[in-house]
Structure 1
Amino acid sequence: MNHEVIISCAVTGAGDTVGKHPAIPVTPRQIADAAIEAAHAGAAIAHLHVRDPKTGKAARDPALYRETINYIRESGVDVVINVTAGMGGDFFFDPDHPATGGPGTDMANAAERVAHVEEMRPEICTLDCGSLNFGNGAFLATADLLRDMAKRIQAVGVKPEIECFELGHIWLAKQLINEGLIDAPPMFQLCMGIPWGAEATTEAIVAMRNHLPHGANWAAFAIGRMQMPFVAQAALLGGNVRVGLEDNIWLDRGVHATNGQLVTRAKEILERMGARVLNPAEARAKLQLKKQK
């Protein structure tokens, strides 16, 4: 069991949750406030996506990241900022236009996917380490594209959080580590229960945990009703945890959650298990994050 646990809060995500929850963070100010709320509740890390303020749909405009991150930094609240670099890989097959994809397709090269990372230099950004059938579409990230992204992330001193949705992603990540494109110690996030990756089962997470390289820091999460069970599951297996509205919008049956409430509940679970929740400074030391200017 991990007795010193980092809680990460994914505060809004890119999913179609606007309209399914009365208060999904959408604007830069709302997303920043959600990150600050999560930090006050005990999250050491805030994981950020941005959304189009007019539509609520997922976005990847660097200006929106700039505004959101500056709000957090100017607040004076200490929290490790972790931004997604997973946008720009969405492909929806259209049988009439297979070469370009159908509605919802959004493809970008490596430079475009990490432009906001290179500009804002958060302490952490995600690196979704491989392609995946994702819901009714696909997420595309080839090995060479990931090599390019990893080089750019490494050059600005940002720690990649290697997001793995199945065993092949861990295999590819280990190859990037062996090529010197990801600095030690690597940081993994095991993403469970997302159709059509690894199922949210004990057997699946144990298999993925057992394939991680020696010395890696890791966390795990599961979506929906399995979010809180996997807080306990990840800690029992030696990992850190993630909660937040990106992965689950409910506190209890029929009760919409806030990010702060989800972090509070995760902290209660961990402390009742005998674990201590780390603060941002302790998380930075454990993950060996590089100090940014």
Structure 2
Amino acid sequence: MLILLILKFVVVAFFLFMFWRRPSLNWGVGLLTVTSAVLLDTFLGTFNREEMLNQFGFFFYVISGLLVGGAAYWLFSLFQPLQLAGSASRGASEATTSASPTMSGSLVQAASPPLSANPAPNSDGVHFTPGTDETGTAFDRQMIYEEVRDRLSREDVLDLLFDLSIQDNEVMNVQQDMHQLIINMMALTEARGQTGQLALAVERILTPPAPEALPRLEKISLESPPTILRHYLLAHYDLEKLQKTAVTLGIDWEQLNVTSKKSRVRDLLHYLYRRNRIDELIDLMHANGTLGREA
């Protein structure tokens, strides 16, 4: 009896630790399910089990169904990342990208020597096979995944989504944690043939371009990539100037994300792109730049 009690305590402690370490809906459901099951079993074991079951009646089957449903949901959520990674890996050889083969960094490798088709899985059990574009440039998708997982914050990953024109609802859901978000992004970029663009975007996040390396203001236009606008605003606009820009454009500054300057810039651009008003921002930037030179 004591051994069984210790075992129950260990199981509950494990789920509590995992929920503390990786707070998410799936581990919360798992913790609630296990704790409820242990408390119910302890309660029935303390009193007369048969008499208590008769007292519960149909309500006992309702509780049991909820516990079984919670356990099934937890198991499904636990294995979902592996399913997403597998679906992303199966189409790796069909990916096509537009990234330059001379891109700096270690995320892009030459087609020779050939890469292993079955890289060893890492500590979290997720692995990605390499992808090669039509020019023969091979992308080490496993390395891209590990760089994003180990070196980028959630803010950085959200910047990646913006730079790759990925809508939040395409890769996010209410039950996911950061790990699942990265895997969903890897799967979607591979399916869209954006692996090369992803590698380049990760390099730009890790080593942002210096302000002097960005295009001059007069060169920025509607055809400029969103990432150029984002980097330009980050480099040349402080929070006060960003707020004045938003107010001039009739945007409620308080409605934008308040966590950081990067969030403000990203949300401002999202707002304007979704409403086809990015030309107003560019015109205002040019006007302010002209006034600054005249002053």
TM-score strictly above 0.5: no
TM-score (norm 1): 0.21
Flag the structure with more relative contact order, 1 or 2, with Cα contacts below 8 A and sequence separation at least 6.
1
Task: Please identify the structure whose Cα radius of gyration is greater.
Answer: 2
Q: 1 or 2, which has the higher strand percentage?
A: 1
TM-score normalised to structure 2 length: 0.21
**More helix by percentage:** 2
